[in-house]
Structure 1
Amino acid sequence: MRNPVVFWSVLLAIMVAEVYGYLAVRVVLNLSTLTERRGFAASYWLLTLGLWALGIWGFSTRHAGNATLKGYLLVVPLALLAAKFVVLLPLLLEDFARLGRWAARGFSSPPPLGAAAPLTRSEFISRLALGLGLVPLVAMLWGMVRGKTDYTVRRVVLRYPNLPASFDGFKILQISDLHTGSFNGNPEPMQRAVA
């Protein structure tokens, strides 16, 4: 990258995603002893750095040797990074929420006894995951029920000075990218679209 600000911003984003990915896996594994935590940390970071090194090597030497293998070597760390960015969003949001609660506690009186406890991390992430899971579900349902017949009809009049007169009033119909599914024997939406 020629712009150092972009380079360092991308590198910082990758590092943050890698750290949050590590923390997420560590929390899920629930390692109890110091030896287990240290062993996991060493294994995780050696594997991560090794995959990145292979990916960078595959990219830098992609024109020499087995290009397919080198392509896979590049895709593996990028695919893992994409997964870590998905993990990053809810964890980062939760950390900002905790930071906000911590700051608010510093400027207000403590909550009274018997007050509802704030969401735990697992509750927050579970609720966020359910909310995120609803987005594609609602989009798919809308597409199946309403979107399959929500066509866009554009009428465009073309005027060309060198077009022969025999094409005056000529109509051209283009139909593309229909995801119609099943009309259940109802051809009316398609007839309405092409009328």
Structure 2
Amino acid sequence: MIRWIIAIAIFLLIEIYAFQAFRTVTKIRWVLSGYTIFSVLIMIFLLYSFSQFDRTVGQSKLMVFTFTLFILVYVPKILLMIVMFGEDIFRLFASAGNYFLTKTTVGAIPSRRKFVSQIALALAAIPFSSLIYGIFEGKYNFKVIRQTIFFPDLPDAFDGFRITQISDVHSGSFDDKEKIEYAIDLINQEESDMMLFTGDIVNTFAKEMYPWIDTFNRIKPYKYGKFSVLGNHDYGEYLKWHSEYAKEMNFKAIKDLYGQIGFELMLNEHRFIEKDGQKIALVGVENWGKNFKKAGDLNKASLGLTDQDFKVLMSHDPSHWEYQVKNDPKHFHLTLSGHTHGLQFGIEIPGFLKWSPAQYIYKQWAGLYEHLGRYVYVNRGFGFHAYQGRAGIWPEITIIQLKKGEKVA
């Protein structure tokens, strides 16, 4: 009960500030009345829908719509609130200064300034329009991102070796076969040596992938194979199952899915990839996340490997790299992860700006990171989840090229 009281109080605070911005800009009564009625109806719908969430059903279409509507409405309004609250701080200091200068409180508090509210509304329009675009276009705005990584101890035979990586398919969210086929075509256009899939094939249920098996089977064979690991959503942890047996059967079916689309699923184990008499080790762990399921066993997966073996690790959650992998004495040269989706919202201008709320949750949330010659690449995700869109952080197909030598500054 207390959490609902807190939630309603937060909703009301956001709405009060947003209303003040509109009221400062316009005094037209029917506009303000219409805005108020519309806002109240949306708030009631959101509170009701969230209260009806059934953990035995999981992510229903209604819940997806509710969460998307919540993001669409309240991200802009929170920005409005921040600007208006900032103005209140200014007004408070101005009032205090006025009191000490005039020794009177009459008319001491300055009124809200129209231009501040106009700026706040203009700023709020930016994420609102971006989120709208993300729903209708952005979620399928696939980008092929190329990354070259240098290693002084890379075996000579693997100089120039190319890896295609996808992650976080979340097939249960798809609603446009033509767009997914286009993404598969982008994958097939690349002349890579090996393909890796770093987890989350579904949102919860194995059946979500069944309509898409033929589509993903269009991914071409690779000379050195196609491999995968599990992601946190593949375990069915976010559902209240009617029985443990049903959960286990779903988990087994999800593991089978990877094989049905031509990927070899690696469960805390490794394989040697051989080329021209030389080899590198491909290591695949189950999900290990600081705040999620910890099924990954790095020691088991790398049993028999030494710090001299060149190793590429697949681990779904990049927090695994931060808390276990990057300082492991066996020296994992390159870790490939996903999981974060970059929260499906942010701004990326190469070489200038890279921001997302994800960076306040994960130290490594999108792209390449390095620590003492050990690298992790975080794929931004192929699909989408919960919020049915992507704004600024686009769905990604990664092409990684391994090069022998030192990185050129």
TM-score normalised by L of structure 2: 0.28
8 Å CA contact 1:90–1:125 kept in 2: the answer is no
Secondary structure in 2 matching 1:169? coil
Number of the residue aligned with 1:178: 368
Answer 1 or 2: which has greater helix percent.
1
Partner of residue 308 from structure 2, selected from 162, 169, 181: 169
TM-score normalised by L of structure 1: 0.52
Matched, 1:44 2:35: yes
8 Å CA contact 1:59–1:70 kept in 2: the answer is yes
Matched, 1:97 2:257: no
Alpha-carbon shift at residue 97 of structure 1 (Å): 0.8
Q: What CA RMSD, in Å, does the superposition of the two structures yield over aligned residues? A: 4.7
Distance 1:121 1:97, change over 3 A: farther
Alignment deviations for residues 158-185 of structure 1 (CA, whole Å, 9 cap, x no partner): 999x955x847333231544399xxxxx
Cα distance in 2 between the residues matched to 1:62 and 1:82: 21
Number of the residue aligned with 2:44: 53
Alpha-carbon shift at residue 43 of structure 1 (Å): 1.7
Secondary structure in 2 matching 1:75? helix
4+ runs deviating over 6 angstroms: none
Cα distance in 1 between the residues matched to 2:7 and 2:308: 55
Percent identity over the alignment? Answer: 18
Alpha-carbon shift at residue 13 of structure 1 (Å): 2.6
8 Å CA contact 1:58–1:71 kept in 2: the answer is no
Q: State which drifts further: 41-50 or 85-94.
A: 41-50
Equivalent residue runs for 1:106-145 within 5 Å: 106-109=99-102, 122=115
Cα distance in 1 between the residues matched to 2:119 and 2:11: 24
Distance 1:50 1:75, change over 3 A: same
Alpha-carbon shift at residue 84 of structure 1 (Å): 0.8
8 Å CA contact 1:20–1:91 kept in 2: the answer is yes
Alpha-carbon shift at residue 62 of structure 1 (Å): 4.7
8 Å CA contact 2:21–2:117 kept in 1: the answer is no
Read off the aligned partner of 2:334 and give its amino acid letter: Q
Secondary structure in 2 matching 1:178? strand
Alpha-carbon shift at residue 9 of structure 1 (Å): 4.1
Number of the residue aligned with 2:406: 192
Q: Larger relative CO (CA 8 A, sep 6+): 1 or 2?
A: 2
In structure 1, stretches of 5+ residues that fail to align are 111-119, 134-147, 152-157, 181-188
In structure 2, stretches of 5+ residues that fail to align are 104-112, 127-146, 151-297, 312-332, 337-366, 370-376, 378-402
Read off the aligned partner of 1:54 and give its amino acid letter: F
Secondary structure in 1 matching 2:49? helix
Q: How many residues align?
A: 143
Alpha-carbon shift at residue 107 of structure 1 (Å): 0.9
Distance 1:13 1:59, change over 3 A: closer
Number of the residue aligned with 1:84: 77
Alpha-carbon shift at residue 82 of structure 1 (Å): 1.9
Secondary structure in 2 matching 1:170? coil
Cα distance in 2 between the residues matched to 1:8 and 1:56: 11
Asked which structure has the greater CA Rg, the reply is 1
